[in-house]
């Protein structure tokens, strides 16, 4: 399993406040993960093969996708 960290400047994702957007590496579906609503991550709603996560606080907040 691979982990890719998403930074706000990345083309294939975004991190804004408590929310992050990811593009699933398998099916290309773009989906949003909320740190509050999806505290254990959110699987890709189309194929379920990747999972987006948002963790941490303030400057230490980070978004990553496991696939």
d(CA 16, CA 6): 11
List Cα–Cα distances, 17 to 24, 27, 29, in angstroms: 20, 26, 21
Residues at the interface with Zn ion (CB under 5 A): 24, 26-27, 29, 44, 46-47
Q: Which C-beta is closer to Zn ion: that of 61 or that of 67? A: 67
The least CB distance from residue 37 to Zn ion, in Å, is: 19
Q: Which C-beta is closer to Zn ion: that of 27 or that of 37? A: 27
d(CA 49, CA 31): 13
Q: Which C-beta is closer to Zn ion: that of 30 or that of 37? A: 30
């Amino acid at each position: 399993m691979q982990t890719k960290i998403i930074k706000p400047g990345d083309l294939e994702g975004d991190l804004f406040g408590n929310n992050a957007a990811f593009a699933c590496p398998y099916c290309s579906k773009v989906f949003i993960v909320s740190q509050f609503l999806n505290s254990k991550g959110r699987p890709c709603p189309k194929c379920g093969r990747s999972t987006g996560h948002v963790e941490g606080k303030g400057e230490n907040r980070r978004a990553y996708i496991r696939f």
